[in-house]
């Protein structure tokens, strides 16, 4: 079974440029998460989807960040414009809700460097 | 997250030694999840604990959740170089009514180095 797929793995951009990350969750997983992980820290939730609906986006900086999961499968996270402080690893995870467990499966992440 | 504290922040042990990593929550937990992360990679699920006093084991790794459901420990017996990595606890914090928020809050991680 394929795991969570993310692309690109690495991205270097100049500040003020836009950037987009893509995630394909494990087949059948209805819940999808985007996390931000700074160096030496644990992941911080940006947004959580249940199917197509964003059920928790309270931590998403909506002035520059946006996300979509149009068909309830893969998802895109966008930053426009990027700032130096956005340099981090962006992780996508998926899980199967309704089981009483939030065991999440993580992708390898996209390492973003903003110069 | 200030809601969740891990200790120690880093740990260096000799191969074959036992070690323990702690995770303490300021709030009652609905569930506690342990993950392992290697540099440049995503998180790998290890174990989930939900019941107070619960203990689970997988190979040489044992995790416990205390009775009050606010602290968990991860214990590795006879450590090996393959155990090296970053260990993260993720807390599913309980609402006042005892139900789940449906999301995980992670600690800052413990960096484990095992010298052969």
Note the helical H segments in B1-116. none
> With contacts defined as CB-CB under 8 Å, which chain B residues touch A97?
102
| B81 three-class SS | helix
Q: Is there a contact between A40 and B103 if contact means CB atoms under 8 Å apart?
A: no
Distance from CA of B41 to the nearest CA of A (A): 5
Q: A1: pLDDT confidence band, cut at 50, 70 and 90?
A: low
Q: Is there a contact between A102 and B41 if contact means CB atoms under 8 Å apart?
A: no
pLDDT reading at A94 higher than 90: yes
Give yes or no for a contact between B33 and B101, defined as CB atoms under 8 angstroms apart.
Answer: no
Q: Is there a contact between B40 and A91 if contact means CB atoms under 8 Å apart?
A: no
Higher-confidence residue: A10 or A96?
A10
Q: B112: pLDDT confidence band, cut at 50, 70 and 90?
A: very high
Q: A80: pLDDT confidence band, cut at 50, 70 and 90?
A: very high
Q: B45 touching A, CB under 8 A?
A: yes
Higher-confidence residue: A102 or A89?
A89
The fraction of chain A above a pLDDT of 70, given in percent, is 96
- Going by C-alpha positions, the residue among A13, A54, A59 that lies closest to residue A35 is A59
Which residue of A42, A55, A97 is in closest CB contact with B108? A42
pLDDT reading at A97 higher than 80: no
> With contacts defined as CB-CB under 8 Å, which chain B residues touch A59?
none
Question: Tell me: the pLDDT tens digits for B63-99?
Answer: 999 988 899 999 999 999 999 999 999 998 877 666 7
Q: Which residue has the tokens 């997983």?
A: A29
């Amino acid at each position: 079974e394929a795991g969570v797929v993310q692309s690109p793995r690495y991205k270097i951009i100049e500040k003020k440029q836009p950037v987009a990350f893509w995630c394909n969750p494990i087949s059948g997983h209805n819940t999808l998460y985007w996390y931000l992980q700074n160096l030496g820290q644990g992941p911080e939730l940006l947004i959580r989807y249940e199917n197509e609906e964003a059920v928790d986006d309270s931590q998403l900086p909506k002035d520059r960040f946006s996300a979509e999961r149009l068909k309830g499968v893969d998802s895109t996270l966008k930053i426009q414009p990027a700032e130096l402080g956005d340099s981090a690893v962006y992780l996508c995870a998926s899980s199967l809700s309704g089981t009483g467990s939030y065991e999440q499966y993580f992708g390898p992440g996209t390492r973003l460097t903003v110069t | 997250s200030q809601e969740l504290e891990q200790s120690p922040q880093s740990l260096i042990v000799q191969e074959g030694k036992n070690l323990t990593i702690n995770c303490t929550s300021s709030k009652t937990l609905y569930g506690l999840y342990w993950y392992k992360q290697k540099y440049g990679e995503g998180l790998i699920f290890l174990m989930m604990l939900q019941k107070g006093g619960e203990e689970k084991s997988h190979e040489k790794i044992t995790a416990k959740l205390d009775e009050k459901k606010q602290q968990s420990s991860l214990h590795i017996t006879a450590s090996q170089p393959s155990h090296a990595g970053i260990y993260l606890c993720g807390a599913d914090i309980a609402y006042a009514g005892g139900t789940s928020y449906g999301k995980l809050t992670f600690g800052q991680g413990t960096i484990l180095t095992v010298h052969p």
